[in-house]
């Protein structure tokens, strides 16, 4: 039995799975959990692999620690989406940060808590979870109230569609402090460069610095994926705080050298991005 994903009818990827543990139709999407021998349990939303136990740490560490180790003094972090709890857990490793998390789908949280309890840090008193619409949340949030916003969303279809447009990022920019930054799931150079460029362009309408950085994710098609960092002031490779980056306990992927290396672009990507790359 295979969990297979076909991207745009040209690239197919499959993980061997042994058993489907649960399938739920929530108000927003279909959520499935599979068990596999090689990859541990696998979370699938609307047919797309979201994470598996074996490599979730790469995505979650890279989304959280890169901006946190770039920002001088991050105190308040907002996570949009991220209902599996993994990004929040990584942010919460930094003891002086308060996290607001806004996940639209209560069922994603419930299933993650039940099937992937070790990925989250749900009982942490510095985590404030809201079940609600992230788009509405950023509209209503106070200006200049966050240091970092992390957009941990699915692809731009279904409930996440409104997280990829200009209006959403106008509010993200507004609710960030003068030295704030955003990191968003930025798709893949290889599998979908046009969509990657679109997100770069939207974030670039607001932020002074806009740079993609790479990570691996073996349950995503093409296995190489990007985050996009938008920053009002700090530069992710010039301003990295080495001391903070290398003193985080328990990390399996991230370190200060990985942080810097992840921003390096191959020639063909530099050419494709052109002026969309703002550094």
Close Cβ partners of 161 (under 8 Å, ≥ 6 residues apart): none
Shortest distance, position 55 Cβ to a second copy, whole Å:
8
- Residue 7 CB, nearest distance to a second copy (Å)? 10
218 lies in the site for a second copy, by CB under 8 A: yes
Of positions 121, 161, 192, 216, contacts a second copy by CB under 8 A: 216
Beta-strand pair 209-216/224-231: antiparallel
Question: Does residue 64 touch a second copy according to CB under 8 A?
Answer: no
Q: What is the DSSP letter of 278?
A: B
Whole-number minimum distance, CB 113 to a second copy, in Å?
A: 25
Does 11 bind a second copy (CB under 8 A)? Our answer is yes
The span from the CA of 151 to the CA of 189, in Å, is 19
* Beta-carbon contacts of residue 27 (< 8 Å; ≥ 6 apart): 105, 107
Q: Which of 124, 253, 276, 278 binds a second copy (CB under 8 A)?
A: 253
Tell me if 122 sits within 8 A of 85, measured CB to CB: yes
- Point out which span in 101-109, 135-143, 145-153, 247-255 binds a second copy (CB under 8 A): 247-255
Instruction: Look at strands 48-52 and 41-45 and give their pairing.
Output: antiparallel
Neighbours of 28 (CB within 10 A): 17
Q: Which of 136, 157, 266, 279 touches a second copy by CB under 8 A?
A: 266
Q: How far is the CB of 170 from a second copy (least distance, A)?
A: 33
| Residue 15 touching a second copy (CB under 8 A) | yes
Of the listed 84, 105, 147, 152, which one is catalytic?
A: 152
- Tell me, yes or no, if 152 is annotated catalytic: yes
- 153 lies in the binding site for a second copy (CB under 8 A): no
Footprint on residues 25-44 left by a second copy (CB under 8 A) = 36-39
Beta pairing class for 98-103 and 127-131: parallel
277 contributes a contact to a second copy by CB under 8 A: no
Cβ neighbors of 204 (< 8 A, separation 6 or more) are: 210, 230, 276, 278
Contacts of a second copy in 190-209 (CB under 8 A): 190
What are the strands, taking DSSP E only, across 124-169? Answer: 127-131, 146-152
Residues of the shown chain interacting with a second copy in the complex, contacts defined by CB under 8 A? 2, 4, 9-16, 36-39, 55, 58, 190, 216, 218, 222-224, 251-255, 257-258, 260-262, 264-268
């Amino acid at each position: 039995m295979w969990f297979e994903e076909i991207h745009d009818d040209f690239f197919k990827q499959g993980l061997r799975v042994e058993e489907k543990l649960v399938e739920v139709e929530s108000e927003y999407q279909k959520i499935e959990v599979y068990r596999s021998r090689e990859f541990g349990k696998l979370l699938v939303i609307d047919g797309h692999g979201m994470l598996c136990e074996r490599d979730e740490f790469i995505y979650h560490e890279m989304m959280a620690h890169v901006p946190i180790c770039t920002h001088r003094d991050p105190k308040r972090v907002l996570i949009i989406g991220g209902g599996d709890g993994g990004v929040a857990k990584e942010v919460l490793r930094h003891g002086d940060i308060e996290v607001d998390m806004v996940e639209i789908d209560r069922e994603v949280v419930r299933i993650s808590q039940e099937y992937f309890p070790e990925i989250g840090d749900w009982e942490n008193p510095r985590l404030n979870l809201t079940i609600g619409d992230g788009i509405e949340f950023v509209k209503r949030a106070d200006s200049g109230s966050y240091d970092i916003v992390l957009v941990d969303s699915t692809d731009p279809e279904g409930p996440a569609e409104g997280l990829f447009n200009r209006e959403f990022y106008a509010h993200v920019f507004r609710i960030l402090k003068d030295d704030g930054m955003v990191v968003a799931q930025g798709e893949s150079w290889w599998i979908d460069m046009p969509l990657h460029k679109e997100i770069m362009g939207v974030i670039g309408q607001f932020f002074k610095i806009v740079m993609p950085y790479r990570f691996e994710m073996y349950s995503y098609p093409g296995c190489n994926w990007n985050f996009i960092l938008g920053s009002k002031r700090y530069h992710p490779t010039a301003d990295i705080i080495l001391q903070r980056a290398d003193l985080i306990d328990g990390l399996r992927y991230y370190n200060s050298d990985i942080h810097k290396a992840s921003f390096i672009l191959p020639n063909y990507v530099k050419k494709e991005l052109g002026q969309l790359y703002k550094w």
